[in-house]
Chains A and B, each alone.
Chain A
Amino acid sequence: MKKNEVPQDKSNLESANFKELCYAVDENGEYTTELSTGWSPKTIALNNAIEVLNERISASKQRVKDLKASPLEYYMELHKMDLPILASYVGIWKWRVKRHFRPAVFKNLNNKTLQKYADVFDISIEELQRTDL
């Protein structure tokens, strides 16, 4: 890549006033660095990945509303987590967390366990229990 070919496309970096460093060759064939504002092939890839996450969030929201899943599942998706990550944050085994996704099981959780989840998602227990998201 030549120095003047370092892409300066519009990207999500702009909002945070952030530029990334790229390595490129100058006119004399010497390596140097140049800042880039973004590159569309990867911006598209990132946006697609975010869209997939958003689809998952809205799907789980619907499942909570239909009482097919507990709000835990929704908050997990909202925080871009998956099961292993959530399990390690709360310090509860994966299979137990998975069980807590069932509304019937979630209803009977004690306050101590609920507090663990609430702390991870940075909300109160009351908020965590609401199903009208």
Chain B
Amino acid sequence: MEIDFKHKQAAHCENGVVANLMTYNGFTVSEPMVFGIGSGLLFTYIPFLKVNYAPVVSYRAMPGIIFTRFATRVGIKIKREKFRNPQTAKARLDENLQRNNPVGLQVGVYNLPYFPDEYRFHFNAHNMVVYGKKDGTYLISDPVMETVTSLTEKELEKVRFAKGAFAPKGHIYYPTSFPKKLQLEKAIVKGIKHTCRDMLAPVPVVGVKGIRKIAKLIRKWPKAKGVKVANHYLGQIVRMQEEIGTGGGGFRYIYAAFLQEAGKLLTNDQLLELSKEMTLIGDQWRDFAVEASRIYKNRSNSVAVDQYDHVASLLEDIANKEEVFFKKLKKAI
């Protein structure tokens, strides 16, 4: 069977799944709106953890939490299930498709056959929608892809039961009840306040302080770890910032798009102005990526230390701008 599901490409998988599921259920919500209401924007440095032999920074809230926050703020109920046994997981999925209910799935990226080889890492927080089953293959709407695709039963089981950090355990989710009319205004205010609180949090590794912390570390790396390792670390930061799913500039552009939409909805001109400002901050993140790539581009082992200082100071400048920005944003609503 095939459910009449409209696939729309998105920048980020989780927002994309939510926006597409909402549209299917008759509520048109844009991807930036989901991201903003779910308070997706963040900056964190996660100490002690290494992925790919490099430190981890994240530009977004934890996987899954964006949808949870979005749902509570606009008044939707979601059902989530995880499974131990792949057979039960499959049976539950088939049951839902039988009932004409497209569902969101959390999957691992490593075994996704339609991804380019270079992008297949052990990353387990990818999201997609299954909207049907035909001749033993599942019809898949993966929001980062331009068009819909399909996976065989075996392939889908493999990605649903990928292992490692954030193991999906067959995680399946779908909205179960909706409000009569979607009230976005209050939800927007809540979402923005939450983001401001996160970005200005008095925690050394979160938000603006987290950006400053990373800048400090970048200054240290070439001396403490050697140029080769420092370049690898720097590359990882840029990848987290610009990789597929961010919409560019470490989610800052998506957030600016959200502020613009929110400003129009709430008829708040200040938000429109702040959206422009956020775009400029996004551009600065892009500049940082360009400057950083100049360092790790040449693979020689003799990079002047002052180049690292230079990119670090770019980051510190961004941190200062974002601090001012989020203080203004807090007052604007």
* Chain A residues within 8 Å of B, Cβ to Cβ: 1, 6, 12-13, 15-16, 18-25, 29-31, 33, 35-36, 39-42, 44-50, 52-53, 79-82, 84-85, 88-89
Contacts and interface: CB of A to CB of B under 8 A. Distances in A.
Interface of B: 9-11, 32, 52-53, 110, 114-122, 144-146, 163-165, 167, 231-232, 235-236, 238-239, 242-244, 247-249, 253-254, 256-257, 260-261, 275-276, 279, 282-283, 286, 289-290, 292-293, 296-297, 299
Contacts of A46: 118-119, 239
A79 to B, nearest CB: 8
Contacts of B290: 41
28 contacts: A1-B248, A1-B282, A15-B116, A19-B146, A20-B11, A23-B247, A23-B248, A23-B253, A30-B260, A31-B261, A40-B293, A41-B293, A42-B243, A44-B297, A45-B236, A45-B293, A48-B231, A48-B296, A49-B52, A49-B235, A49-B239, A52-B53, A80-B120, A80-B121, A81-B122, A81-B164, A88-B163, A89-B163
Given A21-B10, A22-B11, A24-B248, A35 B146 contact: yes
A99 to B, nearest CB: 20
Contacts of B256: 23, 31
B279 A1 contact: yes
A47 B236 CA distance: 11
Contacts of B244: 20
A120 to B, nearest CB: 9
Contacts of B249: 1
A83 to B, nearest CB: 11
Nearest to A15: B116
Contacts of A31: 32, 253, 256-257, 260-261, 275
Contacts of A24: 248, 253
B289 A41 contact: yes
A34 B12 CA distance: 14
